[in-house]
Copies of this chain bind each other. A is one copy, B any other.
Amino acid sequence: MTKRSRQQTIRELIANKVVGSQEDLRVLLREAGWDVTQSTLSRDLRELRIARLPTPEGPRYVTPETLGADNGDRTLVEEVLPQFFSSVDGVGELLVLKTIYGGAQPVAEAIDDAGWDEVIGTIGGENTILIVCRSSNARETVANRLRRIADA
């Protein structure tokens, strides 16, 4: 009955159901025994810092934790690189790829998944990825490939 428990319920609903609008949420809450207006929900969501994320299937409310984790299913280098790419440079067998802040992790993962022969492994920080290549030559190849993909 209290505001706090209502907000707790909201958290659970958001985590477990598809909530596309505050009106959706209102209905779910009614089934759970609460009856409040959309205004209240707007304020609740703000206090809970629950974000609204647009998706191909329409808007969805998500918790910040989910937001970080749910980067969708975009694991293709071709898809993710053009969005995050900043620059590429290197020395010896080492390639250093820079991305916009927060982009290193997803891009590193995508490169890993690509399974390129020239690449031995990757390490991603916040905005920098270290790519260890098989040779200096391989480094050039990969660098060029990355540049081409980034420009797509």
Interface residues of A (CB under 8 A from B): 4, 7-8, 11-12, 15, 42, 45-46, 48-56, 62-72, 82-83, 89-94, 96, 98, 100-103, 105-106, 108-109, 112, 120-130, 132-135, 152
Contact = CB atoms under 8 A, between A and B. Distances in A.
A102 to B, nearest CB: 2
A86 B96 CA distance: 24
B98 A121 contact: yes
A56 B49 CA distance: 9
Contacts of A125: 108, 122-125
7 contacts: A4-B82, A64-B70, A64-B71, A66-B102, A67-B68, A91-B135, A96-B121
A83 B48 contact: yes
A120 B133 CA distance: 16
Contacts of A126: 69, 105, 109, 124
Contacts of A15: 100-101
Please report whether the interface of chain A is mostly helix, strand, loop or mixed according to DSSP. Answer: mixed
Contacts of A42: 54
B120 A83 contact: no
B132 A65 contact: no
A120 B98 CA distance: 10
A56 B46 contact: yes
Contacts of A120: 89-91, 94, 96
Contact of A91 (B96, B98, B130, B133): B133
